[in-house]
Amino acid sequence: MVLRDAAQRLRAPTDLAGALAAVVGAAHTLSDPGVVSSFTTDWTRRFQGPARMVVRPADTAEVAAVIRACSDAGAGLVIQGGNTGLVGGSVPAAHPGPGGPPVLMSMTRLDGIGPVDKVASQITVGAGVTLAALQKAARAAGLEFPVDLAARDSATIGGMIATNAGGVHVIRYGGTRAQVVGVEAVLADGTVISRLGGLVKDNTGYDLSQLLVGSEGTLGVVTAARLRLVPHLPERAVLLLGLESTHAATELVAHLRTRLSGLSAAEIFYREGMELVCRHSGLTPPWPEPSAVYLLIECSGRTSPLEEMMEALSDLEVDDAATAVATDPSGIERLWAYRERHTESVSALGVPHKLDITLPLGALGEFEPAVRARVEEVAPGSTAILWGHVGDGNIHVNVVGPGPEDETVDFAVLELVAGLGGSISAEHGIGRAKTAWLGLSRSESEVAAMSAIKTALDPQGILNPGVLLA
Ligand code: FAD
Ligand code: MLT
Ligand code: ZN
């Protein structure tokens, strides 16, 4: 028996390669090491691991056949969309398990965009459609897909559903979960489940579509999604304010929430981030004297939201010398660039430790200085750059300095967050980066329940092994 298993393992790679080529075509089975390696390192360059080969199925039937072939061969399968995820979930583990390196399945060929259903304000798209392509299709029909994030040109809808991506408009519309009406997905045994009928109300038992949202490719492979669209609001106004502290920013956002009907983003960043972004991107700072804290507020509507914005600020003491406003597209883009270019600027500095956390809003003022002190304590001389979606209590703590495999700073920050009642992942997920610390945010019984669901749907553990659940 042991000998037979060993013989099967030895035979599996070549047999599997043939089986996969028969499913997707030889042109879409990639095994050249140079080509494969471009899929096996993540966006941050912190996570990488070997893959047997890359397969690029074209549709749901091919996805199902790929999964069945891997299941028959006992091979693990890593699912990849745009590979913009920031927790290592879209690439293989650095050290493969006893079954050897997994197959990497790229979903980008599932890029069909259905017609906009104007009656329902919904659209059905393939999992490999990029966020930018979806936004374009929605806008052409006078509508909008309300989730937005800086990786829009590469991030796919499948990846956004798998990670329950947040982005900059959660404060107004909620995250990806809130936009998902239903999904089509292939389970680990190759069966297809599909809820693409567009029913907004449907109380017929477990909501399997929502179970897949945020499951990080561990329970099923999303192949298509039915999504909610909202009205496109053509008039926008963006305000950038210099403030003294995080506490001042959370107080101001609390005030603006009660006054601004069109509030669509409330973002925070700090002096060190502004200086880094300007250095890296060649942008000129918005005003000569640097501020300690920058708060970016966006409002949108059918008519200009500027008047409402100015009125909401009129009863506050605002420093005119540290205020910038834009209502035209290029001015708006310029103000957003200070915020959106943080991710690439930090990566240009080194391989970052990215700790995407969320806290009760009332605790952010205390957390910001505390986390800087903690980072300096455990990783002296490193650079900490913070920014985030302040309206959601979501701060991105980025630390450059410690080696990619040194997890001291990761643990120190996440432990601090848990102690203040926060969560170790706000919007990026657990991936491979945070599996060891899931217990800081989830109780033992919750992790046991999640493991039971995983075992029920994927008893062989072939989908994204080592992601989310250790
Ligand atoms: P990938 O990186 O390819 O995969 C991410 C995870 O989803 C992996 O676990 C993968 O296995 C799984 N997966 C992918 N496709 C499928 C599928 N079809 N079925 C099942 N599982 C699948 N994230 C935010 O939440 N908010 C932000 O504001 C934000 N801004 C970003 C800005 C930049 C510049 C970058 C580089 C990233 C940003 N991200 C942000 C992170 C990232 O863009 C999101 O996590 C996005 O949802 C990942 O999509 P993807 O297609 O690239 O997925
Ligand atoms: C952001 O808000 O900028 C993104 O989540 C990406 C990041 O954290 O780097
Ligand atoms: Zn973010």
Task: Average the pLDDT over 178-196 and give the result.
Answer: 98
Q: What mean pLDDT value characterizes the chain?
A: 96
108 Cβ below 6 A of ligand 2: no
pLDDT of residue 4: 44
2-109 CATH fold:
3.30.43
**pLDDT band, residue 14 (cuts 50/70/90):** low
- Give 165 Cα–ligand 1 centroid separation in angstroms: 7
Its CATH architecture, for the domain 350-428, is 2-Layer Sandwich (3.30)
Taking the centre of ligand 2 as the mean of its atom positions, its distance from the CA of residue 194, in whole angstroms, is: 31
Task: Please state the atom number of ligand 1 nearest to the C-alpha of residue 223.
Answer: 18
Give pLDDT tens digits for 399-444: 999 999 999 999 999 999 999 999 999 999 999 999 999 999 999 9
% of residues, the chain, pLDDT over 90: 95
pLDDT band at residue 13 using 50, 70 and 90 as cut-offs:
low
Centroid of ligand 1 to alpha carbon of 171 (angstroms): 20
Residue 107 has pLDDT above 70, yes or no: yes
Residue type, 100: G
Is residue 315 very low, low, confident or very high in pLDDT (cuts 50, 70, 90)?
confident
Per-state percent for the chain, helix, strand, coil, to nearest 5: 40, 20, 40
Residue list, ligand 1 pocket, CB within 6 Å = 43, 79-86, 89-90, 107, 127, 149-151, 154-156, 158-160, 162-163, 165-167, 216-217, 221-222, 343, 427-428, 431, 464, 467
Ligand 2 site, residue 236, Cβ cutoff 6 A: no
* Ligand 3 centroid – CA 51 distance (Å): 29
- 147 Cα distance to chain centroid: 11
Q: What is the pLDDT of residues 318-336, one digit of tens each?
A: 899 999 999 999 999 999 9
**Do 2-109 and 350-428 agree at the fold level?**
no
pLDDT of residue 341: 98
Residue 83 to residues 37, 79, 158, 159, 456, Cα–Cα distance (Å): 13, 9, 11, 8, 27
Residue 409 phi/psi, 5-degree rounding, is: -70, -35
d(CA 264, CA 246): 20
Please give the CATH architecture assigned to the domain spanning 122-231.
2-Layer Sandwich (3.30)
Sheet of 122-126, strands arranged across: 122-126, 221-228, 180-186, 192-194
pTM score: 0.97
| CATH entry, 235-342, from 3.40.50.10490, 3.40.640.10, 3.30.70.2190, 3.50.50.60 | 3.30.70.2190
Kindly give the residue spans of alpha helices, DSSP state H, lying in 260-341. Answer: 271-281, 306-314, 329-340
| C-alpha pair distances (Å), 221 with each of 153, 251, 387, 452 | 21, 42, 32, 18
Q: Distance from the CA of 73 to the center of ligand 3, in angstroms?
A: 38
Q: Where are the domains positioned within the chain?
A: 2-109, 122-231, 235-342, 350-428
Q: How far is the CA of 85 from the centre of ligand 1 (A)?
A: 4
Binding site membership of 343 for ligand 2 (Cβ less than 6 Å)? yes
